[in-house]
Amino acid sequence: MNSLAVVEREAAASTIKVTDDELIVSLVDGRVISVPINWYPRLSHGTVEERSHYELMGRGTGIHWPLLDEDISVSGLLKGNPSFESENSLQKWLDERRGKNP
């Protein structure tokens, strides 16, 4: 009896580009994911420099922007998940960026 073994690989990012409108993630398997930048408010509020400084985590399964304190998983992008950050958390972060004390 023959059986077909299915091996699932976790999707992994190879390169990232952030424009004023989109987060564009190229995957190692050749696919390209594009989502609206406003799904991730910290990225949309970031400068070009802050957006371009990212690190791939877990062999590309996650993306970290240290200057924006933002983490996004590739699997979350594939599922269509926007940021789940609360309004209060985002407002506190924005106030801190502007130099205000919360």
- Domains of the chain and CATH, by start: 13-97 (3.30.2020.40)
**pLDDT of amino acid 72:** 97
Global confidence as pTM: 0.85
pLDDT for 6 equals 63
Question: Per residue in 23-47, pLDDT tens?
Answer: 999 999 999 999 999 999 999 999 9
Produce one character per residue of 71-93: b if its CB has 16 or more CB atoms within 10 Å, e if not. ebbbebbeeeeebeeeeeeeeeb
- pLDDT one-digit tens code per residue, 86-97: 999 999 999 999
